[in-house]
Amino acid sequence: MVYAVIAYLHFVAILLLFALLVIEHQLMLQPLDFARARGLYRTDIAFGIVAGLVLFTGTARAMHFGKGLDYYLNNSFFHTKVALFIVVALLSLYPTLTFFKWRSALKAGQVPILPPNQARRVTLIIRVELFLLLLLPMFAALMARGYGVML
């Protein structure tokens, strides 16, 4: 029963992670207003929390509630999946740092300044993150069916 609960939490967290990234993409409309800037800031905080939940539940599944750590560590698709997740995490640092710089402006009730080139860069990074997140279930499905086992 615990295995099913952990698996469920992992799947829900992954879906939430993707949904939060879609919300960030939608909120990046220019010109930026106060409500969308505050929404981006809050959504990005939620994204970080949910990414931690994905990592925690995924680690729990691999170590205790899955096919055993040896199975995962000897699977090239598992390594690919983890690497993609790390790439998404690293890519998300740029939008996160951008939104974090807005804290003082948001507390003062002001619209933060977002130059057009920086807005385009953040939007592009979010799109790349979305694409990479879409690849993760494919690698998970391949891995779960025994493909990618290293001898």
Residue 144's closest CA among 67, 37, 55? 67
**What confidence score (pLDDT) does residue 69 get?**
84
- Give yes or no for a contact between 129 and 123, defined as CB atoms under 8 angstroms apart: no
Whether 37 is covered by a domain: the verdict is yes
Whether 149 is covered by a domain: the verdict is no
> Does residue 67 surpass a pLDDT of 90?
no
Whether 28 is covered by a domain: the verdict is yes
Whether 103 is covered by a domain: the verdict is yes
- Reported as a single tens digit per residue, the pLDDT across 79-137 is 999 999 999 999 999 999 999 999 999 999 999 999 999 999 999 999 999 999 999 99
Angstrom distance (rounded) from CA 4 to CA 138: 20
> Does residue 151 surpass a pLDDT of 80?
no
Residue with the bigger pLDDT between 53 and 71: it is 53
Mean pLDDT of the chain: 94
**What confidence score (pLDDT) does residue 121 get?**
97
Whether 151 is covered by a domain: the verdict is no
Whether 124 is covered by a domain: the verdict is yes
How many domains does one find in the chain? 1
Helices (H), the chain: 2-27, 34-60, 69-73, 76-91, 93-100, 103-107, 116-144
Whether 150 is covered by a domain: the verdict is no
Range of 128's domain? Answer: 2-144
**What confidence score (pLDDT) does residue 146 get?**
84
> Does residue 46 surpass a pLDDT of 90?
yes
Whether 48 is covered by a domain: the verdict is yes
